[in-house]
Chain A
Amino acid sequence: MANERIVVVGGGLAGLMTAVRAAELGVSVDLFSIVPVKRSHSVCAQGGINGAVNTKGEGDSTAIHFDDTVYGGDFLADQPPVKAMCDAAPGIINLLDRMGVMFNRTPEGLLDFRRFGGTKFHRTAFAGATTGQQLLYALDEQCRRYEVSGLVRKYEAWEFLGLVRDVDGNCRGITALDWYSMKIESFPASAVMLATGGPGIVFGRSTNSVINTGTAASAAYQDGAHYANGEFIQVHPTSIPGTDKLRLMSESARGEGGRVWVPRTQGDTRDPKSIPEGERWYFLEEKYPAYGNLVPRDIATREIFQVCLQGYGLGGRREVYLDLTHIPRKELDTKLGGILEIYEKFVGDDPREVPMKVFPGMHYSMGGLWVQFGKNESTGALDETSSKNQSTNVPGLFASGEVDFSIHGANRLGANSLVSCLYAGKIGGPAMVRYGRETSSKLPAADGAFTEAKKRWDAEFARLANVSGPENPHVLAQEMGDWMTDNVTVVRENGKLKETETKLQELEERWKNVGLTDRSGYANREISFINQLRNMLVIARVMTRGALMRDESRGAHFKVRDLSKGVTEENALPRDDANFLKTTIAEHSADGPKISYAAVDTSLIEPRARKY
């Protein structure tokens, strides 16, 4: 096995965990990322990471974590991987602790845990309000260790363009672009992992980093990988509106006691601090006494949306208060410092003194590349030794992290993503190694495929370098983002979804008339963006078509009969298990996505109605 080499695309939590796990088995890793991996989007995660450790004597268990996750996801997730992840979560947190993550501690020096949405337990380990940053750094450091020992080779500022598939359709490597020299090269691998994160920028402004375009997933989809549950988009209830980005105000603010409210009187313009308790409407606490401000995100988002539609938004605007001012300053600083600084820096108010103003913002994609898992047929559990784990329908191609569709079903619970990314990498790395060993002697020669792939992309980029139409790519991107945000986020309605499909097709046509303002042959980010934009339009259609065809409401997918009647249960289509307790599978074709449905593995928990 002298020259076993895998490719990992993406250096967020999922990609780095994959790389470390494979390197630990002695396998060489080529690691690709558009930004230095330490700057990946995972760095933005604030609130924490879930694992049921029951250190607060509340009776929490991994079984309850499993149930909360499946129920929170409205039963759309295949259950064996969810169970396996929840069982592994405490061990993953221990591992991070051993890697040196500066998690907050109890007076006894043990890890501290906070509350997050969709659960009644203190289950979320956290490092101040910069948990993702701390976790990413810990993995980055372990990866650097393998870089020094020679097992990991980094290709930072390289962009993945597409797969290399041999005559039998096996994925044998990737083609990538050097962001500085603009050189295109193909790289062979015994297996390829895509860990390229979410597609937030398809919605223009979101809580995501601006590099989260979903371009890699879309390229893989166009190269034959299936995309699943694309219509399930999580809109976070509390973000800070901005012209460039919707900055997140983490759920941990509510986990630590933050309260959402609006004045009871519409258009009340008094200073919030002078409004007496009795004249404040804590609408989440009133409607959901058991979970209060910590109802799952899809529900909190719709409630905030509806309250604003009814005219209770602050000053008639689309904003509500998120109030921390009743909590002592010192406590806020040690537990939430990082996020309060963000609010202070961008808004200019001190959230320890003045209630914050927030509104829902696009946050996360539950959908992504379809992946499978190995199942132990006698126990029904996920088989951690299977080379099937995290593998896509394209042999040799794996996916993990936000880019894969597994675990979260129709709605993700807060603090469950970091753990799912790490778990996917934890089982994905070894699965790739195993796959490589199982297939190495059986695959056909692929030299031709590499030359072909490079030729194809060289030609495409040479063409893009000369386009001179009247359309500006950034303007097209903005139109796409506005349409997607208006019609494919919090509320969906079939008429609007059809209009959006037509609009996206119009944008695809206009994309053909795009013009380049940058003619440079060095570090030309505009050429790369034009290519990404086409990929974004393709994946936007997958999301829209999936939403149009799913005639029910489930988790974050909330479909109403008549948009003018508001975001209410009465106006919504009900959940329809008979027809739609199914995974949406999109397959690429020249005339748009072809949709089919696959059964969901509900072998462990019987689906029941979701009521909080």
Chain B
Amino acid sequence: MPSSIRLSVKRQDTPTSSPYWEEYEIPYQPRQNVISVLMEIAKDPKTRAGKATSPVVYDRACLEEVCGSCAMRINGVARMACTALIDSLEQPIRLEPMAKFPVQRDLSVDRQVMFDSLKRIKGWIPIDGTYDLGPGPRMPEPERQQAYEYSKCITCGNCLDVCPQVNGRSNFIGAAPIAQARLFNSHPTGAMNAGERLEALMAEGGVDDCGNAQNCVRACPKSIPLTTAIAEMYRATTRYGIKKLFGT
């Protein structure tokens, strides 16, 4: 058992300033995770060399991997910090912000693009209103179970961070929103507007830009079958395109 926990954090003071690394060391305690260690450091923020510093800035809320806030690169891998258990990580543990999103400060990044993508694909069921209009459409339970997998997406951004197609030169929408289009198109009411979502996925930066690296599905903390969704949406857009071409 190690006697201490060592962290190395890539920090950045503002969106435009240059990054720098800082090291910290705190006494070992069993069953810690990356967030609980960052919380501990904030109680007396100083570097390993003993120099006073400021607490590391990062995003977190639920601490149980359901809010999607705390995604970062841990020992080089994009994942959720709250479920990154110290006992299973090689030390010193290296923390960096995700690289595909603009850094705000330290480990906190701006993921607004992900919410904007949900607008792009019209990620909602267009209900008539909130008035009491009776029950929704029936759905077979096996289909529901499949769809449920996609509704667990926490918009963390890991799938974008690991995707080689998401880079400064492309505007590939990424796996998460494609899977959301799959979710809404499979809902009986959502299916009524399936075409609109498919058109969004056929536009520039859509499903065609997937390079099939399959990193996304491995990086997803919720084990969502992202590549299955991409393949399905790819086929659906092709079918839709042909249909549209021949006007049938």
Chain A contacts to B: CB under 8 angstroms: 20-21, 24, 35-36, 38-41, 43-44, 91, 94-95, 97-111, 127-128, 130, 133-134, 137-138, 141-142, 144-145, 147-148, 180, 209-211, 242-245, 247-248, 334, 338, 342, 345-346, 426, 472, 474-475, 478, 517-520, 522-523, 525-526
Contact = CB atoms under 8 A, between A and B. Distances in A.
Nearest to A207: B64
Contacts of A142: 124, 127
A517 B68 contact: no
B90 interface: no
Interface string B23-53: 0000001011101100100111100000011
Given A44-B67, A133-B66, A518 B36 contact: no
Nearest to B223: A341
Contact of A39 (B14, B61, B138, B184): B61
A144 B118 contact: yes
B93 interface: no
Nearest to B125: A100
B136 interface: yes
B63 A107 contact: no
Nearest to A127: B148
Given A517-B52, A518-B54, A98 B125 contact: yes
Nearest to A91: B132
Nearest to A96: B136
**Most chain B Cβ neighbours within 10 Å, of A39, A103, A518, A526:** A39
B83 A345 contact: yes
A464 to B, nearest CB: 15
B140 interface: yes
A334 B124 contact: no
B contact face: mostly helix, strand, loop, or mixed: loop
Given A105-B141, A211-B61, A520-B54, A243 B31 contact: yes
Contacts of B55: 517-518, 525-526
Given A94-B134, A108-B138, A110-B138, A141 B125 contact: yes
Contact of A41 (B35, B43, B53, B62): B62
A478 B43 contact: yes
B13 interface: yes
B54 A526 contact: yes
Contacts of B60: 210
B1 interface: no
A137 B136 CA distance: 17
Contacts of A244: 32-33, 35-36, 39, 63
A147 B115 CA distance: 11
Contact of B129 (A24, A210, A517, A523): A24
B141 to A, nearest CB: 4
A148 B119 contact: yes
A99 B39 CA distance: 38
Contact of B136 (A98, A209, A345, A518): A98
A100 B190 contact: yes
B135 interface: yes
Contacts of A148: 119
Given A108-B138, A244-B35, 9 more contacts: A39-B67, A43-B62, A91-B132, A94-B133, A109-B139, A243-B32, A244-B32, A244-B39, A245-B64
B61 A35 contact: yes
B183 to A, nearest CB: 8
Interface in B123-158: 123-127, 129-130, 132-136, 138-141, 144-145, 147-148, 151-152, 154-155
Interface in B186-226: 187, 189-190
B62 A44 contact: yes
Nearest to B41: A474
Given A35-B67, A105-B139, A209-B67, A517 B31 contact: no
Given A21-B130, A100-B190, A472-B43, A145 B124 contact: yes
28 contacts: A21-B130, A35-B69, A38-B155, A39-B61, A39-B62, A41-B61, A43-B66, A95-B130, A98-B136, A98-B189, A100-B124, A100-B136, A100-B189, A105-B138, A105-B140, A107-B141, A145-B126, A209-B63, A243-B36, A244-B36, A244-B63, A248-B64, A338-B152, A346-B31, A346-B64, A518-B45, A523-B57, A523-B108
Interface in B54-79: 54-55, 57, 59-69
B182 interface: no
A141 B63 contact: no
B39 to A, nearest CB: 6
**Most chain A Cβ neighbours within 10 Å, of B39, B64, B105, B118:** B64
Contacts of A526: 42, 54-55
Contacts of B184: 100
Nearest to A248: B64
Contacts of A130: 66, 152
A148 B118 CA distance: 10
B69 A39 contact: yes
Contact of B151 (A102, A145, A517): A102
A278 to B, nearest CB: 33
B67 A137 contact: no
Contacts of A525: 55, 57
Contact of A100 (B141, B145, B187): B187
A102 B224 CA distance: 15
Contacts of A426: 130
Given A518-B55, A525-B55, A342 B64 contact: yes
A423 to B, nearest CB: 12
Contact of B63 (A91, A109, A247, A523): A247
A253 B143 CA distance: 24
Contacts of B64: 44, 245, 247-248, 342, 346
B13 A520 contact: yes
A345 B14 contact: no
B68 A38 contact: yes
Contacts of B52: 517
Nearest to A348: B85
A163 B31 CA distance: 42
B121 to A, nearest CB: 11
B66 A24 contact: no
B19 to A, nearest CB: 14
B115 A144 contact: yes
Contacts of B130: 20-21, 24, 95, 426
B201 to A, nearest CB: 17
Contacts of B83: 345-346
Contacts of A95: 127, 130, 132-133
